[in-house]
Amino acid sequence: MESQCAVCHFSYQREPGFFLGSIYFNYGLTSLVTAVLYPALHFGYGLPNGPVMAACVSFALLFPIWFFRYARALWLGFDQWIDPR
Ligand SMILES: [Zn+2]
């Protein structure tokens, strides 16, 4: 990841551990999607528990890896919105 913006030299890494807050976005969205997906597929569409559980567990393991960079971007934008520099 770049340490600062190439155009305006805005520092992305404000302090050590700054991006720990992105975990809230990543975990929160993963939990929300899984918590909606499982009941919708199992109870709403009547799909069997085994495949739905396997799909949801797979999603819960793989989605955060893919969403990692977007969660950081969301965290950076959220921090800039709350505490503009
Ligand atoms: Zn910039």
Output the CA 58–ligand 1 centroid distance in Å: 36
Residue type, 78: F
Environment class of 60 (CB within 10 Å of its CB; exposed 0-12, middle 13-18, buried 19+): middle
Q: Are 19 and 72 in contact (CB under 8 A)?
A: yes
Output the CA 76–ligand 1 centroid distance in Å: 12
Output the CA 9–ligand 1 centroid distance in Å: 6
Output the CA 84–ligand 1 centroid distance in Å: 13
Residue 45 per-residue DSSP state: S
Q: Report how far residue 53's alpha carbon sits from residue 62's, in angstroms, rounded to the nearest whole number.
A: 14
23-49 pLDDT tens trace = 999 999 999 999 999 999 999 999 999
Q: pLDDT at position 42, please?
A: 96
Q: pLDDT at position 11, please?
A: 85
Q: pLDDT at position 14, please?
A: 83
Token pair listed for 76: 């950076």
Residue 13 per-residue DSSP state: -
Output the CA 4–ligand 1 centroid distance in Å: 8
Entry pTM = 0.80
